[in-house]
Chains A and B, each alone.
Chain A
Amino acid sequence: MKKYNSIELLIKLQADVRQMILEANYLQSTDPGILLQQPVAGKWSVIQVLEHLNSYGNYYLLAIERSLLQNKPSTGAFKPGWIGDYFTKLMKPGENGRIAHKMQSPKDHRPHSHPDAFPVLTTFLEQQHYLLELLERAKAKNIGGIRTPISISRIIKLKTGDVFRFLIAHEQRHFVQIENTLVAVRGTTNKYPATLPVM
Chain B
Amino acid sequence: MSDTILLRQFITAAYPLKDEEMEALLTGWQPFECRRKTIITAAGETERYLYFVLEGIQRGFYIGNDKQEATIVFTYAPSFSGLADSFLTQTPSKYFMETLTNSRFLRKSYKEIEALMNQYPNIQRMVLYLTGFILKGVLERQIELQCFSAEEKFKALLKRSPHVLQIIPHKYLASYLGIDATTFSKLLGTVRL
Contacts and interface: CB of A to CB of B under 8 A. Distances in A.
Say if A and B assemble together.
yes
Interface of A: 15, 18-19, 21-22, 25-26, 28-30, 125, 129, 132, 190, 192-195, 198-199
Given A22-B39, A193-B67, A199-B171, 17 more contacts: A18-B40, A18-B42, A18-B45, A19-B39, A21-B42, A21-B44, A22-B42, A22-B43, A22-B96, A26-B67, A28-B63, A29-B64, A125-B44, A192-B67, A193-B69, A194-B69, A198-B37
Contacts of A132: 42, 45
B39 A30 contact: no
Contact of A15 (B38, B43, B61, B66): B38
Contacts of B66: 29
Looking at B42, B100, B170, B171, which has the most chain A CB atoms within 10 Å of its CB? B42
A179 to B, nearest CB: 14
Interface string B89-105: 00000001010100000
Interface in B50-109: 61, 63-69, 96, 98, 100
Contacts of B67: 26, 29-30, 190, 192-193
A156 B115 CA distance: 44
5 contacts: A15-B38, A21-B43, A22-B96, A29-B64, A198-B37
Contacts of A29: 63-68
Residues of B contacting A: mostly: mixed
Contacts, number: 54
Nearest to A197: B37
B169 interface: yes
Contacts of A30: 67
A194 B42 contact: no
Nearest to A191: B67
CB-CB nearest 4 A-B residue pairs: A18-B39, A21-B42, A18-B42, A25-B63
B179 to A, nearest CB: 16
A109 B65 CA distance: 31
Given A26-B63, A129-B44, A194 B36 contact: no
Contacts of B61: 194
Contacts of A19: 39
A192 B43 CA distance: 16
B169 A25 contact: no
B34 interface: yes
